[in-house]
Amino acid sequence: MSATGIGAPVRRKEDLRFITGKGQYTDDVVRPGETRAVFVRSPHARARIKSIDVSAAMSMPGVIAVLTGAELANDKIGNLICGWMIHSKDGSPMKMAPHPALATGTVNHVGDAVAVVVAETKGQARDAADQVKVDYEPLPAVADPAKAQEHGAQQIHEVAPNNTIYQWHLGDAKATDAAFASAKHVTRLDIVNNRLVPNAIEPRAALAEYDAGADHLTLWNTSQNPHVARLVIAAFVGMAPEHKLRVIAPDVGGGFGSKIFIYPEEVICLWAARKVGRPVKWTAERSESFLTDAHGRDHVTHAELALDGEGKILALRVKTIANLGAYMSTFSSSIPTYLYGTLLSGQYNIPQIYCEVDAVYTNTVPVDAYRGAGRPEATFVVERLVEVAAREMGIDPPELRKRNFIKSFPHQTPVIMNYDAGDYQASLRKAMELADVKGFGRRKREAARHGKLRGIGYSTYIEACGIAPSQAVGSLGAGVGLWESAEVRVNPTGTVEVLTGSHAHGQGHETTFAQLVSERLGIPFENVSIVHGDTDKVQFGMGTYGSRSGAVGMSAIVKALDKIEAKAKKVAAHMMEAAENDIEFKDGKFTVAGTDKSAAWGDVALNAYIAHKFSGQELEPGLKETSFYDPTNFTFPAGCHICEVEVDADTGNTEIVNWTAVDDFGTVINPMIVEGQVHGGIAQGVGQALLEGAVYDKDGQLVSGSFMDYSMPRAHNLPSFTIGLTETKSPSNPLGIKGCGEAGAIAAPAAVINAITDAIGSEQVLMPATASTVWAALERANVARQAAE
Amino acid sequence: MPSVSMTVNGKAVSGNVEERTLLVQFLREHLRLTGTHVGCDTSQCGACVVHVDGKSVKSCTLLALALEGANVLTIEGLAEPNGPLHPMQEAFRQNHGLQCGYCTPGMIMSAIDIVRRKGHELDERTIREELDGNICRCTGYHNIVKSIAAGAKAMAQGGAPRQAAE
């Protein structure tokens, strides 16, 4: 392993600009003549717009334009769409309601945009927005997903009777019922997977510029996938033809899924920039982030696990209501279906699984992918059921897991997925060693001496990453292919630029992708640049989400490098007057087998361009290759997280005292970066379990709408983490990579809740397990115990 | 519009600003020092932390006009142009104390202030408690805590922080 090659903890290239304040985020970009946009948003969860009076706002200082949904419709700007078709079990297509970028007729959630003010300064735009008079007729709202389908619930969209978007199912209902009928033990749980706000620390922003001379639009945007943004805004919204729209996603300050989607604000900035003939910038305030960034999770689930007398799992039955909010966001339909139901087998050999999911509209912010996206929800269901089943049956929880682990691969689950490789016993064993599970009893007694209830919780999770084989996802309803592209440009001096369709917003691709190229070509790490996030530079790409950039994005680079090597060998053969088949390439040097002839990488690169040593008719000059890589399967990262907590019996306050994570991500390019990804994922999972919850009141007001009310994990809420790795390589891509970005967020919530419930001896703990929630559970358990005595 | 003059990163600056202009807006929009970020508008996240007269402040809570004559140090002024990095900047890079980089300037400015107040030997609990006013969504804080402990030590070994002139 070289100091900068695959497997080395190389310090990141991108850090220098970030630690010196030289990053270029969207709000940092300034265009000549730039104006500022501020949106007028609905204060009601549901209301009819009776009228909008913009005259007072128009007369305010600095105001250039005040635009409403009526003008948007006049200009024939299309609606936002959801790009993944889900069919209900009766075969009917999902019920997608219109989602205009500015509401007309009715508003459907607090924060729904009804108008935009464009002014010289942000302050002027904000002042004028306050003067836009919208006459609303408030209507009853539906905020609770569990009540959205009830008879008498308010009908939000005409197209969706009973507020039901689809009623989807997966698996064999009859066979599952039969397995339950034969079970010796059934564990049942009612689960709420709490609604979360992604809260990337950089708020979303958009800056649009129109070049009238070229009839061309440019959008700087906080996007995880600029090409997909361009495609949707061109082909569906109809803003401009694709070749007349450039989307640039510069430095992006975290995404976690929330910056995948195409939002109203970027559409409106583009439209407004063309209308006013000047650049238009919008940057969200944090309260707008809370009211407009797609939220995550929000499931209400009843789940049942059937086991035989020895703790062998026979079947799993799951019924979930998934809240998709007021409109269907870009990929929202796929999250509680093909990213959820398909992962319900966990790490276990489960003969029968049946899953039903009803997706519902409510008068809340749209819900879509948030770190893990469906897989945390699935893991929470499976890992809570397994833990509770073990406790109910008097079997040690790790032992019950071991009895049910899948041990041979490939393994076909009853829910579509074909697991290609893994060793679940290895990660469990290593995690138990690192966590010193043997010493837990002693630690628990010690904790009891100072009034603390100590508990231990396991989560042996699995996820499907490397999203995804295009044909497979196409057959499941995806509107796009999920391959990735790479272009490797070797310059005449031998330095290399790699253009990738992946997009980094914290993941460190500029470093890890360069490590791959450095190792493969034997050239200095410093001589490689990674270019991403600009539709004018990169031909097309699918962006970064679903832990796909290593498994899919880097695989595309490998394929392009294969072509580069083949072409360079041809050039080298001409240079050294040898047969192409005799050329070997190693450590940046081309040699002729069996001779002492050699050519350095830089010489070959130069010769490829000057083309003096070969006929340009027989071999094209230049050294640049492209690849579009479509994966052969999902990848299946898996592992074991063990959480130890101490609960204060008097207050219910929970402290996480130990965290051990052992993950199998396949090949690791940069262990420092991989560990960082695990840390961040765990923090978000712990946030879900202990702190975070987007709370709506019954009228659809978001009660937790700022960092004052929504509890973000802070440094003192978390411990340092013990991280370990096991490795089985993925056979589904050339590097053997599985992906690491979401593991922590997927594994952590179940580990925390399993630990708390172990500590307090009650399973009735909802997330977030705040002190008052845990205290109430302790009280209920005490009352029940006293009643029993 | 009224005018305001102050020293930013060792340079005298002045500008005409609206009364409601916040320090962070003055830095970002008037001086084009965009390393100082806005993450929350409610003084919770700490992405906007700078030093004023040697102490850390959230620049989204101060009016620019209130800082007539003040000495302000931002992330851009920590290291001399083309000079070595400040030890705390270097510690964040060496310990992978950042991912997306958005909270990082505020983290580094807060970290230096923690060292000023708490000294160079910082235990984990102290660092975690002192970071209450800075939110990071990427790192889970694990490597930020390591970075600050390492940076604090490095600052003791000759790498004295460059503070705004008193």
Cα separation, A157 vs A173, whole angstroms: 31
Q: Do B144 and A27 touch (CB under 8 A)?
A: no
- Residue B159's pLDDT band, with cuts at 50, 70 and 90, is low
**What is the average per-residue pLDDT within A69-96?**
97
Amino acid, res. A25: Y
- Residue A594's pLDDT band, with cuts at 50, 70 and 90, is very high
Q: Do A286 and B35 touch (CB under 8 A)?
A: no
Res. A468: pLDDT tops 90? no
**What is the average per-residue pLDDT within A362-385?**
98
Beta bridge partners of A478: A84
Res. B162: pLDDT tops 70? no
Within 8 A by CB and 6+ apart from A5, the residues are A515, A518, A519
Res. B77: pLDDT tops 90? yes
Three-state SS at A386: helix
pLDDT tens-digit profile of A726-781?
999 999 999 999 999 999 999 999 999 999 999 999 998 999 999 999 999 999 98
Report phi then psi at A660, rounded to 5: -125, 130
**Tokens representing residue A543 in the block:** 């962006």
Task: Please give the residue of chain B at the shortest CA–CA distance from A679.
Answer: B140
Selecting from B75, B103, B132 the residue whose C-beta is nearest the C-beta of A201 gives B103
pLDDT tens-digit profile of A318-341?
999 999 999 999 999 999 999 999
CB contacts < 8 Å between A and B, how many?
Answer: 180
Amino acid, res. A421: A
Helix-, strand-, coil-residue percentages of chain B, each rounded to 5: 40, 15, 45
Res. A783: pLDDT tops 80? yes
> How many residues can be counted in chain A?
789
Average pLDDT of every residue of chain A: 97
Res. A267: pLDDT tops 50? yes
Selecting from B44, B108, B142 the residue whose C-beta is nearest the C-beta of A707 gives B44
- Among residues B110, B52, A161, the alpha carbon closest in space to that of B22 is found at B52
Classified by CATH at the fold level, domain B3-77 comes out as Ubiquitin-like (UB roll) (3.10.20)
Q: What is the pLDDT of residue B72?
A: 98
Query: Which tops the pLDDT comparison, A2 or A82?
Result: A82
What's B12's DSSP letter?
E
Selecting from A28, A285, A712 the residue whose C-beta is nearest the C-beta of B41 gives A285
B contacts of A18 (beta carbons < 8 Å): 98, 101, 104-105
Res. B165: pLDDT tops 50? no
Q: Do B40 and A706 touch (CB under 8 A)?
A: yes
Task: Please give the residue of chain B at the shortest CA–CA distance from A252.
Answer: B100
Within 8 A by CB and 6+ apart from A107, the residues are A42, A44, A46, A47, A49, A114, A136
Distance from the A75 Cα atom to the nearest Cα atom in chain B, whole angstroms: 33
- Residue B164's pLDDT band, with cuts at 50, 70 and 90, is very low
Q: Which residue has the tokens 């705040």?
A: A770
Report the residue of B92, B114, B137 to disrupt the A interface, i.e. the one with the largest count of A CBs within 10 Å: B137
Res. A439: pLDDT tops 80? yes
Q: Do B41 and A23 touch (CB under 8 A)?
A: no
- Asked if B3-77 and B87-156 have one fold, the answer is no
Task: Please give the residue of chain B at the shortest CA–CA distance from A13.
Answer: B93
Res. B160: pLDDT tops 70? no
Selecting from A22, A683, A684 the residue whose C-beta is nearest the C-beta of B35 gives A22
Question: Helices (DSSP H) in A40-148: which residue ranges?
Answer: 55-58, 69-74, 122-130
A contacts of B140 (beta carbons < 8 Å): 679-684, 713, 718, 721, 744
Beta bridge partners of A352: A315
Distance from the A22 Cα atom to the nearest Cα atom in chain B, whole angstroms: 6
List domains and CATH numbers for chain A: 423-459+634-789 (3.30.365.10), 483-629 (3.30.365.10)
pLDDT tens-digit profile of A11-24?
999 999 999 999 99
* Domain-wise residue ranges, chain B: 3-77, 87-156
Chain A touched by B85 (CB under 8 Å): yes
Q: Do B74 and A27 touch (CB under 8 A)?
A: no
pLDDT tens-digit profile of A285-317?
999 999 999 999 999 999 999 999 999 999 999
Three-state SS at A367: strand
Q: Do B96 and A11 touch (CB under 8 A)?
A: yes
Cα separation, A287 vs B40, whole angstroms: 8
Chain A touched by B76 (CB under 8 Å): yes
**What is the average per-residue pLDDT within A244-260?**
97
Among residues of chain A, what percentage have pLDDT more than 90? 97
Tell me the CATH architecture of domain B87-156: Orthogonal Bundle (1.10)
Distance from the A21 Cα atom to the nearest Cα atom in chain B, whole angstroms: 4
- Residue A1's pLDDT band, with cuts at 50, 70 and 90, is low
Chain A touched by B73 (CB under 8 Å): no
pLDDT tens-digit profile of A174-191?
999 999 999 999 999 999
Q: What is the pLDDT of residue B157?
A: 87
